[in-house]
Amino acid sequence: MPETTVETSTAFEPEGVRLGVVRGIGYGLFGKPDEFVPQARALGAGLVRAYVYWGQVEPEPGRYAWDVVDALLAQLDGDEEVWLTLCSSSPWATRVPTDFLPPSPALDLEAYGAFVRRVVRRCAGRVRYWQCDNEPSNTDLLWAGTAEEYVAQLRVLHAAVREADPAATVVLGGCGYDVLSGQEGSEPRLFFDHVVSAGRDAFDLFDVHLYGEAAAAPAHIAFARDLMRRHGYLKPVVVGEHAAPVPFEFPEAQAVMYEAFSGAFADAPRSQSTSELAERMGQDTPERRAMSALYDRMAELPETLQMFLAGCPVELEDRRHRINARQLVMCTMLALAEGVRRTVYWNLAPEVPGPLDPRQVMHLMFGKLVLLDYEGTTLGVRRPAAGAFALLAELLAGVRRVRRAETPGSPDLYAFEVEREGREPLLVLWRGRDMVTGEDEPPITVDRPWAAPAATAVDALGGTPPVEVAGGRLRLPVSVTPVFVTPWGTKD
């Protein structure tokens, strides 16, 4: 069989490395658009991503409301990059009338193109990345259409962005867990295979979403690249969402959830508008009954499921926080070592201030992943993973290259060498162990060549492991918690 010629495109390869955060699934959709960019910037985020829905910007045909878009633009200082995911949800312009989920094909593609052009022109020079919906292979929930219809809409968005702001970049809708975990020939994979084939000229960056165990990140990134190569081309890959832990990465938790929710969504409503969601809040829905049943027997559930429930035992809550911080660092380092230059964490904070209803499946899945929480009506409370994000962003400032180093004789040791502009190089180490039980295992002693006369170390949880440098060797204990080692001092 002749080898496929691969056309490599780097015209829109992002410059340098930036860590980013997603604001959430609906900026200004569930309440007044609030301030979040300064808080993200304070964490060290160099990129912010937000979702904007067609119905927010054009609530009626030809009438534009710019309060949400302008609220975001007013927070920018010019140093950060902005990524907007445009979701085609509209009460009047799309097949499924809704202001939230699911996005669906436009009734009139010309009207959709006009909407995209107006938004992009409004933001020209300030928003760099424009994405056509999110995880469209997750049909019915995140896209109520076919792969062919998604490609048709992607082409319209691409042309509109090129016309309104030629310097901007178009991002393909995210390739998510349904594709990455699916079998060859599964519906999500067939969907994305068609999109990658038919839509090859209508996007600049391939977005892959990395949820679950960080160690799988290289394989998922390789899958994205191989998918493009099979169709004769290769474009840069970005990570538009990553986070862990999530319940579905633990088989024992997944089994309980499958049993609990197997009938809860059989008659789920076709759409989820904000008004419908508000009306169902507190109602005795099948989803709420299933969640209540889990809470009623929390003590009997596997600990890997308990830790995602509100009010779980403190020791499980603290363990989940530690896993969250570790995997945030691990996934980022693994992606950067694969040549990815943009990683975006899900997510920054709850959608709105005030009490949340934990008896929702989405809260169970993603509710505890936030970096920040509200203090009154202001985002001011840092969760433990926020400390890990800020530390990582500070240590990776000026990064030029991340290389995974060889670890002969230590197959479960992860080692990364980081080159930084105008700074000493950085060494990042951790031991590949089970994310839940691995912290209970004793650390191993790592002994490596070391050119500097001394070193300092800090780990992803803020600890300071002891470091010894002697005879040109570095010795330190390494556990499941990533540790950052920096040389200091100069030789005469």
Give the torsion sign (CA, 161, 162, 168, 171). positive
- Which candidate, 253, 258, 189, 257, places its Cα nearest to that of 220? 189
CB 68 within 8 A of CB 28: yes
User: Of 3.40.50.150, 2.130.10.10, 2.60.40.1180, 3.30.70.120, which CATH number belongs to 401-488?
Assistant: 2.60.40.1180
Whole-Å CA distances, 417 to 326, 414, 421, 424, 454: 18, 10, 13, 11, 17
Decide: 397 and 391 in contact? Cβ < 8 Å. no
pLDDT over 50 at 288, yes or no? yes
Report the C-alpha gap between 413 and 432 in whole angstroms: 6
Averaged confidence pLDDT in the chain? 95
What predicted TM-score, i.e. pTM, was given to this entire model? 0.97
pLDDT of residue 77: 95
Q: How many C-beta neighbours within 10 Å does residue 32 have?
A: 11
Token pair recorded at residue 325: 């911080």
d(CA 369, CA 245): 8
Q: Collapse the DSSP code of 312 into the 3-class scheme (helix H, G, I; strand E, B; otherwise coil) and give the result.
A: coil
**Which part of the chain is CATH 3.20.20.80?**
7-395
Please say whether the beta carbons of 105 and 145 come within 8 A.
Answer: yes
Q: How far apart are CA 313 and CA 378, in angstroms?
A: 28
DSSP for 146-180, written as a single string: -HHHHHHHHHHHHHHHHHH-TT-EEEPPPB-HHHH
Q: Poorest-confidence range of 220-234, 267-281, 289-303, 450-464?
A: 267-281
Q: Are 348 and 327 in contact (CB under 8 A)?
A: no
CATH superfamily of 7-395: Glycosidases (3.20.20.80)
Residue 262's pLDDT band, with cuts at 50, 70 and 90, is confident
Taking the C-alpha atoms of residue 363 and residue 463, their distance in angstroms, rounded to an integer, is 30
Backbone angles phi, psi at 171, to 5 degrees: -110, 130
Residues of the chain with CATH 2.60.40.1180: 401-488
Q: Which pair of tokens denotes residue 360?
A: 């929702």
Contact 213, 254 (CB under 8 A): no
The torsion of the CA quartet 112, 113, 119, 120, rounded to 10 degrees, works out to 150
- At residue 399, the 3 state secondary structure works out as strand
pLDDT digits (tens, 9 = 90+) for 185-227: 999 999 999 999 999 999 999 999 999 999 999 999 999 999 9
Residue 332 token pair: 């980022």
Contacts of 231 (CB under 8 A, 6+ apart): 196, 197, 200
Q: Check residue 315 and give left, alpha or beta (phi > 0: left; psi -120 to 50: alpha).
A: alpha
**What mean pLDDT is predicted for residues 340-357?**
95
- Residues 413-464 have pLDDT tens digits of 999 999 999 999 999 999 999 999 999 999 999 999 999 999 999 999 999 9
pLDDT(484) > 80: yes
